[in-house]
Amino acid sequence: MIPPFDEHGYLPPGIHSASSMSLQSQRELNATREKLRLLEDRYEANKREKSGDEHVRELSMRSLKRLINQLKEEIARFESRSSLGTTGK
């Protein structure tokens, strides 16, 4: 589970693992796309932010990027499975 952001918009210190998931439906795909959009928005906002601890900001950026990449992979896997199922291959 992703912990809440702090008052500066960063993830709290520590390692925040998110277990691999497997999207099962269009509804889950849509929810994941929305989460991805929110994480990408947060990542861009953190990139522009210059106040606060630079080290904490860098660690938060890495964590956000890891989560963003994980969601993109899950979306790609779901879309790949869906396209194989609809083409009959």
What are the pLDDT digits (tens) for 29-83? 999 999 999 999 999 998 998 888 889 889 999 999 999 999 999 999 999 988 8
> Which pLDDT belongs to residue 17?
60
Looking at beta carbons, which pairs linking 23-31 to residues 24 or more positions away fall under 8 Å?
Answer: 23/74, 23/75, 23/77, 23/78, 28/78, 29/75, 29/78, 29/79
pLDDT computed for residue 2 by the predictor: 67
Per residue in 63-75, pLDDT tens?
Answer: 999 999 999 999 9
Q: What is the pLDDT of residue 42?
A: 93
